[in-house]
Amino acid sequence: MSTHRWTKASFHHLSDKLLRIIEENDTYKVAFGFDKGDIGSVLTGGKKTIEHHRAITRKLFLMPSETGWTVDDLIPLGIVVKNWVSR
């Protein structure tokens, strides 16, 4: 999966789900530099950004019955998530 597919209509639901995952987690908002609002102090849990990308990747893609992706796809999909969040 390359980054250009995020813009295809058939992948819009993944972009929406990615944003929802980040918006619902204050730690992710802080880790990726999003506005955390008025929630007080939040830490990133001592994890590196790539660890957060992989955690999000698990939530976003690893539903084999729905997507066909598996744990073996975690690293390349984590890079896809990292690239999309960085945009």
Ordered by start, the domain boundaries in the chain are 3-86
The predicted pLDDT at position 21 comes to 92
- In this predicted model, which residue has the larger pLDDT, 85 or 36? 85
Tokens encoding 53: 């990308």
The predicted pLDDT at position 64 comes to 54
The predicted pLDDT at position 4 comes to 47
The predicted pLDDT at position 66 comes to 62
Helix axes 74-86, 49-61, angle to 10 degrees: 110
Q: What is the pLDDT of residues 1-55, one digit of tens each?
A: 444 467 777 778 888 888 899 888 888 888 887 776 766 666 666 788 878 888 8
CA 42 to chain centre: 18
The predicted pLDDT at position 67 comes to 64
The predicted pLDDT at position 7 comes to 72
